[in-house]
Amino acid sequence: MRVVILGSGRGSNAEAILQAQREGRLGRARVVQIIADRPEARILELGGRFGVPARFLDPGPFKTKFDEAAETRYLDTLRACEPALIVLAGFMRILKPRLLDAFPRTIINLHPSLLPSFPGLDAIGQAWRRGVKVTGCTVHYVTSEVDGGPILDQTAVRIEPEDTLETLEARIHAAEHALLPAVIARLSQAGAGGE
């Protein structure tokens, strides 16, 4: 199963996927391309470390979405990769129907809350400020509703009395690093979109 990872930042979730691949824990999935929407994104450094092509692809002038030319650029690049699965690993852009429709039940996202609770930005901070006792992370299919697609799996993380926002963030990130590769491995056994 050919996998493309899209990211915007440091790439810790992408690194967890690539480490799982290196250790034989990614099932039949193989990462064939890493694409970043920021030229300085540290996710690009993972390509050389793990022997996977990595490139910056111009996202156009907007901060959280693509203009038409950028959307075409991403669409053409993704089609050329022939992915069975596209993983948004800290990719901070909203995908529009044209791109989503080109890859139905192919694009998944990792979100740092137990959806449907706390969608959108700063999900860990939202949960922390609300005072919930349990939060976590979710892997879901991407649809036109932000953080609203069908849920593939979740991991709960209990908020302990001694937690700070920083320790909670670290524990949720650790849960993410286990959950995302496990979901990819499971999808690779079922065939992409096979859940």
Looking at the annotation, which residues are catalytic? 111
Q: Which residue has the tokens 């209990």?
A: 158
Among 97, 147, 182, CA closest to 195: 182
Strands, E assignment, 106-171: 107-111, 134-141, 151-158
Name, in order, each residue with C-beta under 8 angstroms of 183's C-beta and a sequence gap of 6 or more. 108, 139, 152, 153
* CA dihedral angle for residue 81, residue 84, residue 85, residue 86, rounded to 10 degrees: 30
Query: In angstroms, rounded to a whole number, what is the distance separating the alpha carbons of residues 5 and 55?
Result: 11
